[in-house]
């Protein structure tokens, strides 16, 4: 069974993202473990794809570093096995890698072998930014077969019938995109967040908000607006990038990640206690 | 449910934020392009005639005909306004964006011909336009960068990856994901998510619609074969579309064989752009199609002496027609493409785009049985934009039919 519901069981969840293997396999293992110490309830692990069209410059550069460091789907599965963490794990990647793994294993492209292997090493779910609900049938079937969740992104532009179509397919949590555009840390959190959350109010999966959250204050505001979790990627990847730039050792970078994770988790918890007009 | 597929290819593999825009575009494509709502098609046809210069001629190429023992006809898209077939699609899409009430145009470009055509169409229709272009391509194609800027477009160089078309497409998709409510992305070939492959084919099929009528009038028959260069495939699908149902007409898609057909997996590089000949099925830039990729599914960098063919994917409909056996993919390497460039320039007085030079060069390799007795070859564009590349690349190798390259030194 997927362990994702556990992440949302005790109040607002803090969901950090890192690209696996950025900037090196060993450092990246340390970084993910630091996030758990800082309070992560679930970790989204990016499996780098050469054409990350939904990502902004921060994560795109992380993807390049990870690929240059030798990250591959096979190494990714080893990476997950090597992690000493107990929180649920979600694999975030693009569809071609999932699809081609089938060719490598069976001679025919298809998502089932990737999902089977991911489930074996301890992955609980998937986020695939270039796979809309219309194209997700085969991956959804493989996830059902191996007790994994399939998370979908709902964008500010998603309306009407599209919402229904996604609601039928989504499990684990729904990734609520806080604003239009690509990933990237920003100073404020969009008003679109509250509006998006209100459109999903009758969905019975947890709603985790991402895109642009960079501080404890942002996290608090998002939870106060009704989110069940906050997803933070670029602000954490920035810390990894700074470490690369400064040539800092992995332990120092891990400590910074842990501290920032703690701030974000505390922000999320504070949001739960906000009462009055801010709380929708 | 999957929409807009050609057999197992096509579909819509894009971030969720773009899906409503694709639905809106699909609706607009059906109403305006397929059903001529508000007289869209009449407006388009008038503009592509008066602004664009259509119809383009179908020229009997006397020297090539003698050389190959077959009647060779050139469909002269190089004579279209802007010097390439790209205007057919760019004008169609910018006009469609106008009918849809969009306020801004974005596009990506490789050789610069699509960017140039889009910038011209946007100026003609008074729309602001931004064009993304790989940094390496901005250096290879400076004349087109100037032309885009002269037409008022912003040209934004893309520094990621190898700085070619693949990276420019990814960057344009990122812009679109941010500005989708007010902006139309003019995709430059029969690639990308549905409805782009079908819509771009429809705008480009004017090439084969005219060619089919012209050859019947001039030769009193259909051609035995149609030959077109293939990168993303807009010239190819445009040249083939109206002949697909004529099963007696052989269709040859000529790809860039680069310097080798082998993929260097460790380096992540294919020294060619022959995705129809050598690629495998995968998902890139919104569609399932044939791709140059490694065993993990990472997209490998392509290569061609012609930046207009330098792309790791190809249109899904072409991938389907190849699987069905209707279209035969063939390829020509960089050296032969340069020889083809010089041959058409010297023997017919037509200086072709390096893309077209691949198709011309393949006539040299083709058997008489393949070509038959009557050939239509599309001159996809003119070669002005490629002159610096041709001078540099010709000087590097032994191209037997090239002029003395020393005369191009000293200041050029």
Q: Which residues have CB under 8 Å from B87's CB, separation 6+?
A: B48, B52, B80, B81, B117, B120, B121
pLDDT reported for residue A280: 46
- Edge-first strand order for the sheet with B286-291 is B5-6, B9-13, B286-291, B280-284
Query: Each residue of B299-337: pLDDT tens digit?
Result: 998 989 998 888 899 999 999 999 999 999 999 999 999
Q: Which residues in chain A touch residue B183, judged by CB atoms under 8 angstroms apart?
A: none
Query: Each residue of B215-257: pLDDT tens digit?
Result: 999 999 999 999 999 999 999 999 999 999 999 999 999 999 9
pLDDT reported for residue A248: 97
In chain B, the residue whose alpha carbon lies closest to the alpha carbon of A65 is B161
φ/ψ of A198, rounded to 5, equals -65, -30
Give the architecture-level CATH label for domain B19-50+86-200: 3-Layer(aba) Sandwich (3.40)
Contact B343, B383 (CB under 8 A): no
A contact test, residue of B1, B13, B163 with most A CBs within 10 A: B13
A177/A56 Cα distance (integer angstroms): 14
pLDDT in tens, chain A (280 residues): 799 999 999 999 999 999 999 999 999 999 999 999 999 999 999 999 999 988 888 999 999 999 999 999 999 999 999 999 999 999 999 999 999 999 989 999 999 999 999 999 999 999 999 999 999 999 999 999 999 999 999 998 898 899 999 999 999 999 999 888 777 766 666 677 888 899 999 999 999 999 889 999 999 999 999 999 999 999 999 999 999 999 999 999 999 999 999 999 999 999 998 865 544 4
CA A161, chain centre distance (Å): 25
A4/A18 Cα distance (integer angstroms): 18
**pLDDT of B35 above 50:** yes
CA B406, chain centre distance (Å): 32
> What token pair was written down for B380?
């996809």
> CB contact, 8 Å: B297 with chain A?
yes
Nearest to A237 by CA among A48, A8, A39, A4: A48
- Edge-first strand order for the sheet with B225-229 is B58-60, B71-76, B374-379, B225-229, B250-258, B327-333
Contact A192, A179 (CB under 8 A): yes
B191/A250 Cα distance (integer angstroms): 43
Question: Which residues in chain A (164-193) have CB-CB distances under 8 A to chain B?
Answer: 166, 177, 180-182
Nearest CB among A55, A97, A177 relative to B296 is that of A97
**pLDDT of B152 above 90:** yes
The complex's ipTM works out to 0.94
> CB contact, 8 Å: A69 with chain B?
no
> What token pair was written down for B55?
């119809």
Pick the CATH number of A4-273 from 3.40.50.300, 3.30.70.1290, 3.20.20.70, 1.10.645.10: 3.20.20.70
Q: Domain-by-domain residue ranges, chain B?
A: 19-50+86-200, 58-83+205-396
DSSP labels, A98-160: HHHHHHHHHSS--SHHHHHHHHHHT--EEE-TT--GGG-HHHHHHHHHTT-EEEEEE-TT--H
Mark yes or no for CB contact B16/A153 under 8 Å.
yes
Catalytic option among A33, A36, A44, A61:
A44
What 3-state class would DSSP assign to B195? coil
The dotted CATH code for B58-83+205-396 is: 3.40.50.1100
pLDDT reported for residue B1: 41
Nearest to A125 by CA among A139, A104, A108: A139
B203/B312 Cα distance (integer angstroms): 23
> What token pair was written down for B29?
């494509």
If 0-12 CB within 10 Å is exposed, 13-18 middle and 19+ buried, where does residue A83 land?
Answer: buried
What 3-state class would DSSP assign to A25? helix
Q: Is A55 known to be catalytic?
A: yes
Contact B70, B371 (CB under 8 A): yes
B348/A105 Cα distance (integer angstroms): 53
Nearest to B86 by CA among B193, B187, B210, B10: B187
């Amino acid at each position: 069974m997927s362990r994702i519901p556990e992440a949302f069981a005790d109040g607002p969840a803090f969901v950090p993202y890192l690209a696996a293997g950025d900037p090196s396999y060993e450092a990246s293992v340390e970084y993910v473990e630091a996030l758990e110490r800082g309070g992560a309830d679930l970790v989204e692990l990016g499996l780098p794809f050469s054409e990350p069209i939904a990502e902004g410059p921060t994560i795109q550069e992380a993807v390049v570093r990870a690929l240059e460091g030798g990250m591959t789907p096979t190494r990714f599965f080893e990476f997950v096995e090597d992690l000493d963490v107990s929180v649920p794990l979600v694999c975030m990647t693009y569809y071609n890698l999932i699809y081609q793994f089938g060719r490598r294993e069976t001679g025919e492209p298809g998502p089932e072998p990737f999902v089977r292997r991911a489930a074996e090493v301890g992955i609980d779910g998937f986020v695939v930014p270039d796979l809309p609900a219309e194209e997700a049938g085969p991956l959804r079937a493989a996830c059902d077969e191996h007790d994994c969740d399939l998370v979908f992104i709902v964008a500010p532009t998603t309306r009407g019938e599209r919402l229904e179509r996604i609601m039928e397919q989504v499990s684990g949590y729904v990734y609520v995109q806080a604003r239009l555009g690509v990933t990237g840390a920003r100073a404020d959190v969009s008003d679109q967040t509250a509006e998006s959350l209100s459109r999903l109010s009758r969905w019975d999966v947890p709603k985790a908000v991402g895109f642009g959250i960079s501080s404890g204050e942002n996290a608090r505001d998002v939870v106060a607006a009704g989110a069940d979790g906050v997803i933070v990627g670029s602000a954490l990847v920035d810390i990894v990038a700074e470490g690369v730039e400064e040539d800092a050792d992995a332990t120092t970078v891990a400590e910074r990640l842990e501290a920032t994770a703690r701030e974000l988790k505390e922000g999320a918890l504070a949001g739960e206690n906000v009462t009055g007009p801010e709380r929708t | 449910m999957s929409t807009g597929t050609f057999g197992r290819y096509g579909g819509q593999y894009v971030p969720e934020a773009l899906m409503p825009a694709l639905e809106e575009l699909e609706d607009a494509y059906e109403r305006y392009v397929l059903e001529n709502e508000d007289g869209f098609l009449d407006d388009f046809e008038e503009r592509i005639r008066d602004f664009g210069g259509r119809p383009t001629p179908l020229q009997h190429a006397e020297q090539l005909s003698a050389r190959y023992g077959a009647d060779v006809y050139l469909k002269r898209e190089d004579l279209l306004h802007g010097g390439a077939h790209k205007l057919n699609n760019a004008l169609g899409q910018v006009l469609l964006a106008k009918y849809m009430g969009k306020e801004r145009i974005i596009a990506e470009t490789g050789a610069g011909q699509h960017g140039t055509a889009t910038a011209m169409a946007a100026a003609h229709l008074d729309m602001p336009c931004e064009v993304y272009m790989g940094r390496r391509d901005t250096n290879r194609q400076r004349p087109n960068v100037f032309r885009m800027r002269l037409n008022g477009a912003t040209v934004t160089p893309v520094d990621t990856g190898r700085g070619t078309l693949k990276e420019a497409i990814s960057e344009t998709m990122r812009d679109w994901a941010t500005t989708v409510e007010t902006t139309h992305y003019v995709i430059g070939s029969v690639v990308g998510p549905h409805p782009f492959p079908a819509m771009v084919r429809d705008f480009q099929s004017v090439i084969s619609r005219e060619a089919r009528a012209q050859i019947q009038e001039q030769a009193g028959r259909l051609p035995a074969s149609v030959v077109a260069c293939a990168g993303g495939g807009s010239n190819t699908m445009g040249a083939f579309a109206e002949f697909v149902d004529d099963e007696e007409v052989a269709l040859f898609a000529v790809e860039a064989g680069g310097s080798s057909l082998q993929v260097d997996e460790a380096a992540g590089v294919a020294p060619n752009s022959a995705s129809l000949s050598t690629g495998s099925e995968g998902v890139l830039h919104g569609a399932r199609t044939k791709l140059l990729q490694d065993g993990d599914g990472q997209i490998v960098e392509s290569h061609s002496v012609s930046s207009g063919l330098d792309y790791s994917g190809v249109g899904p409909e072409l991938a389907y027609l190849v699987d069905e056996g209707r279209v035969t993919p063939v390829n020509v390497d960089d050296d032969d493409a340069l020889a083809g460039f010089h041959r058409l320039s010297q023997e017919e007085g037509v200086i072709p785009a390096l893309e077209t030079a691949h198709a011309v060069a393949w006539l040299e390799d083709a058997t008489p049985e393949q070509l038959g007795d009557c050939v239509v070859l599309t001159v996809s564009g003119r070669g002005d934009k490629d002159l610096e590349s041709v001078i540099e690349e010709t000087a590097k190798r032994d191209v037997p039919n090239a002029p003395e390259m020393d005369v191009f030194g000293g200041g050029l």
